[in-house]
Amino acid sequence: MPPGSERQRGSREKGAGCHACALVNVVLLHPPLLSPVVWRRLAPLLAGAGHELSVPDLRSSGPVEGWWRQARDAALFIAPQADAVVAHSGAGVLAPVVLDALVGARATVLVDAVLPAIRGNTVVTPSMREAVRRLAVDGVLPPWTSWWPLETLAELVPDASDRKALADEAPQLPEAFFDVAVPAPQAWEPPVRGYLQLSPAYQDAASKAGHRAWTIASLPGRHLDVLSDPGPVAEAILALLEPVSR
């Protein structure tokens, strides 16, 4: 198993409710700018509801041009039998290539995430690309946790130990990372597809997902509530995955 990756096998408890009616094998994709730490508090909650969880380490150490292939392969290595893909933030761009490679995948949930293209390639928005250009020093980006004032990061992640873990494990990516188009294979969208919006910044993505016949849920809060307030987020994910667990 790659360093940093993790598996958690759920155990059903009597009276756990319909969410635990059938075990779903779920792979959780963390944002490229962060690490598996993002899921460390939410994954046990999904496992506690009776599902099998895999949290691959998607941080890339290879050529930037093929970063998405390395991330896809890391997900397949740890969760070759996954039924569902759950992606947060920038990991949304990886959902199509991971789903396309998983033979039995039937569902995806994007959590405050980039909505991939229906087909073709997903590319970074011009505004994001300009923001990255301004942040880069000699072609390298500082860790994501240093992009924000300390007080802003404390609002996003109130727990000091969580903030430290995020900062300690956040990678430094090359600026060119954001010039790589990530494929969206034809007909990649699975039968069960949900979008969970947490923060106002992802309102447009949620709206576009709705126009593509995705099931939309809204849980007003913070972008990193997957780590900072995982209980309600886990419940919302379980509800969006419920058609798979019946």
Specify the pLDDT at position 19.
41
pTM of the complete model: 0.92
Specify the pLDDT at position 85.
98
Burial grade of 30 (CB within 10 A; 0-12, 13-18, 19 or more): buried
Q: Measure the CA–CA gap between 25 and 10, rounded to whole angstroms.
A: 9
* CATH level 3 topology of 6-119+181-245: Rossmann fold (3.40.50)
The pLDDT of residue 88 is above 90: yes
Per-residue confidence band for 40, with pLDDT thresholds at 50, 70 and 90:
very high
The pLDDT of residue 21 is above 60: no
The pLDDT of residue 107 is above 90: yes
Q: Which residues of 146-181 are buried (b: 16+ CB within 10 A; e: fewer)?
A: eeeeeeebeebbeeeebbebbbebbbebbbebbebe
pLDDT tens readout for residues 178-216: 999 999 999 999 999 999 999 999 999 999 999 999 999
Which H/E stretch holds residue 240? helix 230-245
The pLDDT of residue 122 is above 60: yes
Per-residue confidence band for 22, with pLDDT thresholds at 50, 70 and 90:
low
pLDDT tens readout for residues 215-226: 999 999 999 999
- 3-state secondary structure at position 153: helix
Specify the pLDDT at position 17.
41
% of the chain at pLDDT higher than 70: 91
Specify the pLDDT at position 10.
58
At 84, phi and psi to the nearest 5?
Answer: -145, 145
pLDDT tens readout for residues 41-72: 999 999 999 999 999 999 988 889 999 999 99
Q: Measure the CA–CA gap between 222 and 201, rounded to whole angstroms.
A: 10
Where exactly are the structural domains of the chain? 6-119+181-245
The pLDDT of residue 112 is above 80: yes
